[in-house]
Structure formats: C-alpha cells, structure tokens
Amino acid sequence: MSLTIYPAIDMRGGKCVRLLQGDYDQETIYGDSPFDMAKSFAADGSEWIHMVDLDGAKDGKRVNDRFVIEAAQKLNVNIQIGGGIRSEEDILHYLKNGVNRVIIGSIAVSNPEFAIDMIKKYGAKIAVGIDAKNGYVATHGWLDTSELKAVDLGKRFADAGAETFIFTDIATDGTLAGPNIAAVCEMAEVTGKNVIASGGVSSLADLQAIASEGIQGAIVGKALYENRFTLKEALKVGGSR
C-alpha cells in the first residue's frame, strides 16, 4: 500500500506560515503567496495539497478561501481544505469551486449530528479532522481542549460512514520531533478507515515508518519548508507516480 504525501500550506493573513504546536504566537512565515506555493508543489508532482485556513479556524468563518479556490481551479492537483468550515454553505462553497475534499473539525465536536449528516450527504468529499492533545480532542484552532477522547470520536464517525480521517497530534505539530505513530495507528485500528498522519514529520525515515504501518497518508509541512528533504524525495518514499 502506497503512502500519499500531502504537502501542507497553512494560511494566515494571506501568507504561508507554520505554527509551533498550534500556537498563534509562535508563527514563522515561509511565503507571501499560497497560490505560488501550491503551484510549486503541483509542479513537483504532488497529487494532493493540504491547505489550512488558520484565520478561519480561529475566527470560525472562511477567511483565506480565495487562495484555496484559485489553486483548485488553476492547478492540476487535488486540494483538501480545513479551517473555518462550520456550515453546509461552507462545504458547498469549496466543492462547487473545484476543491476535492473538505475537512470538518471543530464542528464535528460541537455538532456531531451535523457532521454525520454531511458525511452521509457528501461521502468521500468529507474528511474528519481530529486534532488531539494528550489523547483528547482539541478544537477552534487548538485553543480549546474537550473531554472527548480522540479515538472515541473517530469510531463514532467511522460508524456513521466517514472514510477519511486526518489525525494531528498537537504535541508534535511543527516541532520536527517525529510523528506520534502509535497514536496514528490506534486511530486507524479503531476506525478501520483511511487515516492521514499529521504532525512531527522531520525526515524521510519518518515517512518510511508511517508507510510501514500501512497508514494511508502523511501531511508534511515544516520539514519541507526547512529543507529537511524535498517534496520529490518524499513522493518517492510514498510511491506516488
């Protein structure tokens, strides 16, 4: 089973940034144009790009959506987007404009009935983003931590028909300290579905370790921006065409 590589573009204030462990006060800017970054990833052969509207996640509404739609409409690459998606209108706004997959996160915790309805209505076009801090679900741009265990939430949505989960371990995100593979594997085992690992990837060896566990995908962000390896090298590990 090949590992799909998802290069990440996190957007804040119209720029490409990375946060350390989700902390909005620990931001590094890596580019002035999300579209140009997406274009370079597509040119390197990536089949997917993972985009996050950090302003949207924090404010609870779409903020950087124009960059996402520009990439979806102008580039020959699949786009998945998360951050600030709180309604069916938000979902349709992206899907009608060429985005391939919409990630629902905070709303899945605050309104699981809505999330289940969207999963049943839009199927594989919906991914459930589960962000965990010490095993518990974090929401609203990781500013809040719930009393809900991440694996319990995953099982609930898997039972409802969700096919794709994006699991982020906040403790590792943006740290280049290595992914929490055990937690990712637990989510995959509990849900029995496709799980995309997010957070902590620092080397090609990390990607090889994720692939060896049969995990479906891996999101790579800071390691690319810090030149730990190239996207083309990562795609070779993943076995992408």
Which residues are marked as active site? 10, 131
Name which of 140, 199, 203 is nearest 173 in CA terms: 199
**What phi and psi, each to the nearest 5 degrees, are found at residue 32?**
-95, -10
CB of 82 closer than 8 Å to CB of 166: yes
Residue type, 54: L
CA distance 175 to 169: 11
CA distance 114 to 96: 20
Strand partners, 51: 9, 81
Helix axes 231-238, 204-212, angle to 10 degrees: 20
